[in-house]
A = this chain, B = another copy of it.
């Protein structure tokens, strides 16, 4: 059934009726799904700054041109590169066995032949932060589970040990850190992701172990014996590397200088093939554009599709876009990003007064609630939203997102084509309605 059973098509006006046609075309098609399949198959993983990400940009230029986008171009920028190396760990005593681990992004390396040390266990990051123990020469193990939620609310808190755990442990003299993977899967996959060092604290290596390995470590610690682990990580900071944002447009017929921006990020972590994070977002935003192009209808404002580079290592594409377009941000009328997997939106988040009718129309067409809630619009939208660009979010259901996110298991087979079609429909309708509106979404509340 179409997503619009609740909407009375006689009351939605021309733009709403046209959006409804786009929704139906998307629900009948595989536009977004096919583009994600193409990216994840023909490029695979595409770690920021690598030759694989460069191949992804070439792929995006070719794909954007193929689907009929105009003004297709790469906007290059430079990033600090980091590449994974060897990553092994094993319990040396009391129960010798290997652990499944992965380096966190931007971790420093261990010495080439590893670090072997006694391990000190902390059930949560807080326990480490509050400890008075001297951890000199020790490896710190930080556990702690993550809760599931549709909006991924558990990720922020659970991810703190990943982001700051190394420096928190180093403050107490530790030589390395192992964390329980941030994520909700019980499969034996480690979860990678970015980390940062606190200035003026020694930089020590940090890795994540899979959930089952963390469970195993906890069982070992329950025995009450001293635990020794050997771990070896050999990632390298490669220095400056090229990245870039890929842009394509459907040029508006009446106000071509006004931009509605829909987007995803092109880069991925290197363990999987970046299907749900964020091949799906590329498929959904480019697929939505294809639905509009294939309809033969032309929007009044310009619809711009952006495939951001280097999101995973610090939203670097989002910041580069902000800098490269700073003189033109006032002409960005609305921006959003798809970067929360491939399951259909269950809410619209929007907190402006201006243009509220457009968002209500979209909500009615999609048969999901409009929730007055602040939103960045997506990670790469945050930088331009901070400079006044209006943002909204089609809030995807991320209940199971962190089962796969940033693990080797983030592969194309996990994506449901029906959910992708609903996503593509939602983004097509959103782009169409906002690009054919005369609303100025900037209002006093926001700016």
Most buried by B among A55, A211, A219: A219
With A41-B219, A97-B44 as known contacts, state yes or no: A272 contacts B411, CB within 8 Å: no
Is A326 close to B, CB under 8 A?
no
Complex interface residues of chain A between 210 and 239 (CB less than 8 A to chain B) = 211-212, 215-216, 219-220, 223
Chain B residue nearest in CB terms to A37: B219
**13 more A-B residue pairs beyond the given contacts A44-B95, A44-B216, A100-B408, with a C-beta to C-beta distance below 8 A:** A37-B219, A41-B95, A45-B97, A45-B98, A52-B97, A186-B413, A188-B408, A188-B409, A212-B412, A212-B413, A215-B411, A215-B413, A216-B273
A220 touches B41 (CB 8 A): yes
Chain B residue nearest in CB terms to A97: B44
Residues of chain A at the chain B interface (Cβ within 8 Å): 37, 40-45, 52, 55, 91, 94-98, 100, 186-189, 211-212, 215-216, 219-220, 223, 272-273, 408-409, 411-414
Of the candidates B98, B100, B189, the one whose C-beta lies within 8 Å of that of A188 is B189
Quote the shortest CB–CB distance from A446 to chain B (angstroms). 42
Residues from chain B with Cβ under 8 Å of A42 in the complex: 94-95, 223
Complex Cα distance A186/B215, Å?
23
Quote the shortest CB–CB distance from A222 to chain B (angstroms). 9
Quote the shortest CB–CB distance from A224 to chain B (angstroms). 13
Residues from chain B with Cβ under 8 Å of A219 in the complex: 37, 41, 412
Q: List 23 A-B contacts (CB under 8 A).
A: A37-B219, A41-B95, A42-B95, A43-B97, A44-B96, A44-B97, A45-B98, A52-B96, A52-B97, A55-B96, A186-B413, A186-B414, A187-B189, A187-B409, A188-B189, A188-B272, A188-B409, A212-B411, A212-B413, A215-B412, A216-B273, A216-B412, A219-B412
Complex Cα distance A40/B95, Å?
10
Chain B residue nearest in CB terms to A272: B188
Complex Cα distance A212/B215, Å?
26
A413 touches B211 (CB 8 A): yes
Quote the shortest CB–CB distance from A274 to chain B (angstroms). 11
